[in-house]
Amino acid sequence: MRQIEPTYSAVERAEREEQERSSQFTAARRSEEQRRERALLVRYPNPAAHQRECTETFASLDAILRIARQHLRNLASEGGKLEEQLEFYKGNPSRAPDALRLRVEDNRRRLDAQDRFIAAQESEKERLHARFEAERSRLTPLWNNLELRSRS
């Protein structure tokens, strides 16, 4: 004897197919999550490795920001000197030499560009801080599980 399944209506078949797709999607998502966790554990096998990467990343960003801020100060100083030269033509700025006006304008553009660069680096620093915090919160239970397994 064999067992014959009931014949499903079109609506029932659609529901069963949707349940099957949903379970396949959930399984794929779970598998992808496990793959990502394994990749994170390979990259950061312990909290010290994660902290070291975080420290190195922020040290390099801080160095870039230090250099950029120094460059900004230099540009501001240069701009101050150019403004002093323009002071001579304060009564009639149109009499200022074209070369001086071009240097002043160039300095202002470079100051604006440097300000935008520093703002972008600060934004990148915030983004990386959030990423490292998210990784740490995700990795902590995984590290704890590894520690528990190694003890048993």
| Res 132 pLDDT > 80 | yes
Domain definitions of the chain by residue range: 8-43, 44-151
Predicted pLDDT at 131: 96
Tokens of residue 117, six digits = 């660069």
For the chain, percent of residues with pLDDT exceeding 70? 99
Distance CA 10, CA 148 (A): 50
In 67-77, which positions are buried (b, 16+ CB within 10 angstroms) versus exposed (e)? ebeeebeebee
pTM, 2 dp: 0.74
Q: What pLDDT shows up at residue 35?
A: 95
Over residues 72-128, the pLDDT tens digits come to 999 999 999 998 888 888 877 788 888 988 999 999 999 999 999 999 999 999 999
Amino acid 145: pLDDT = 87
In contact, 72 and 111? CB cutoff 8 Å: yes
